[in-house]
Structure 1
Amino acid sequence: MKIVSLSRQDAPIMALIELKAHSHPMSEGALADCFGPLYRCSGLYEDDALLGFTIVQQIVDEATLFDICVLPSAQGKGLGKLLLQQVIADAQRHSAQVLMLEVRASNRAAISLYQRLGFTEIGRRKGYYPTADGREDAVLMDLRLEHC
């Protein structure tokens, strides 16, 4: 397994992973827009297969995890944790003081992972995410990197 930087040319395969992993996936166009000077996109490969990826935006000393996505067939094997640890280390290398994210309130597995790695809930956006039968809250979390 290896984690490498991704490029705009990876957006189509990222979109396929999104489609399989998320109920409301980002479009290929939206993913392609995440390649620019404020963004870092990384992918986790096994051999030649992209199994997961992250998208981080950093503005000055604030980093935001926009997306973390792992193929459903590869979930439950610690790959999300591996990707998230890489995001944290990378944010520290780029002098971020805080790493922020938001997650669906129903995504208990992700929330548990974030908490295990030191993230704390700092707020909620009521009814932020669409669901099949309504809306659900976004849980806002952050990790203060100066204490890592």
Structure 2
Amino acid sequence: MSARLDPRPLTRDMCRGDLADVIEVERRIYDFPWTEGNFRDAIEAGYHASVLEFDRHLVGYRVMMIGPGEAHLLNLSIAHAWQRRGFGRHLLLASMREARLAAALTMFLEVRPSNAPGIALYGDLGFRQVGVRKGYYPAADGREDAWVMSLPL
């Protein structure tokens, strides 16, 4: 009888060696992606940057800033081929746990109103819209607003 390995998602700190894979995912899923410099700066600034691996594949990543009493989720992304399989939820829950451990009382994020799957995920986990940032995101036809959402931790 042979043992069957049960791969589980692994969240670990993002390092410079991950940037090529992270940038590839970022460019494939966004029309206006973060740059390598954005990710490198986040790592160097000490932001909480993590990658999510599954079965030896980088399936997603997130960048979060934690300050006194609050966490701000700056980027949470899942590679297109791995979307709609629970990896976004897994990474968001891990981010929430990490923020609580760092004594954050509230988590904030921005999301495009056109990102219905993201809004649904955030709503399912208790995030509520608390504001709007006008013209926050670049868009094909100019700018798109951002919904500001928050969650008491």
List runs of 5+ in structure 1 lacking aligned partners. none
Once the two structures are superposed, residues 2-54 of structure 1 have per-residue CA deviations (whole angstroms, 9 ceiling, x without a partner) of 11111133222111111011121000111111114541111111132111001
Residue aligning to 1:91: 99
Once the two structures are superposed, residues 81-117 of structure 1 have per-residue CA deviations (whole angstroms, 9 ceiling, x without a partner) of 1100000011001110111000111101101100100
Residue aligning to 1:15: 23
CA contact (8 A) 1:38 1:58 kept: no
Matches within 5 A, 1:27-38: 27-36=35-44, 38=46
CA distance in 2, matches of 1:122, 1:77: 28
Residue aligning to 2:13: 5
Q: 1:115 aligns with which of 120, 123, 139?
A: 123
List runs of 5+ in structure 2 lacking aligned partners. 1-8
CA distance in 1, matches of 2:25, 2:126: 27
> Following superposition, which runs of at least 4 residues in structure 1 exceed 3 angstroms of deviation?
none
* TM-score normalised by length of structure 2: 0.90
| Percentage of matched positions with identical amino acids | 36
Counterpart code for 2:10:
K
Counterpart code for 1:53:
Y
CA distance in 2, matches of 1:80, 1:68: 8
Greater Cα radius of gyration, structure 1 or 2? 2
CA distance in 1, matches of 2:46, 2:57: 26
CA contact (8 A) 1:125 1:138 kept: yes
| 1:101 match: secondary structure | strand
1:59 aligns with 2:70: no
Residue aligning to 1:138: 146
CA distance in 1, matches of 2:69, 2:44: 17
